[in-house]
Amino acid sequence: MAGTIARVTDELISPILRGLNLELVHIEFVKEGKNHYLRVFIDSPEGVDLDTCAQVSEKLSAALDEQDPIKESYFLEVSSAGAERPLNNSQDYVNSVGKNVHVTTYEPFNGSKVFEGKLVDANENQVVIAIKDKTRVEQITLPVEKIASGRLAVVF
d(CA 89, CA 106): 15
Q: Tell me how long the chain is.
A: 156
Q: State the 10-residue block means of pLDDT for the chain, 156 residues long.
A: 83 95 92 95 90 96 92 94 88 92 93 94 95 89 94 87
| pLDDT recorded at residue 2 | 66
pLDDT of residue 21: 94
Q: What three-state secondary structure class fits 100? A: strand
pLDDT of the residue at 118: 96
Whose CA is closest to 122, among 146, 95, 147? 95
- Domains of the chain listed by start with CATH number: 2-80 (3.30.300.70), 90-152 (2.30.30.180)
Dihedrals φ, ψ of 102, to 5°? -125, 115
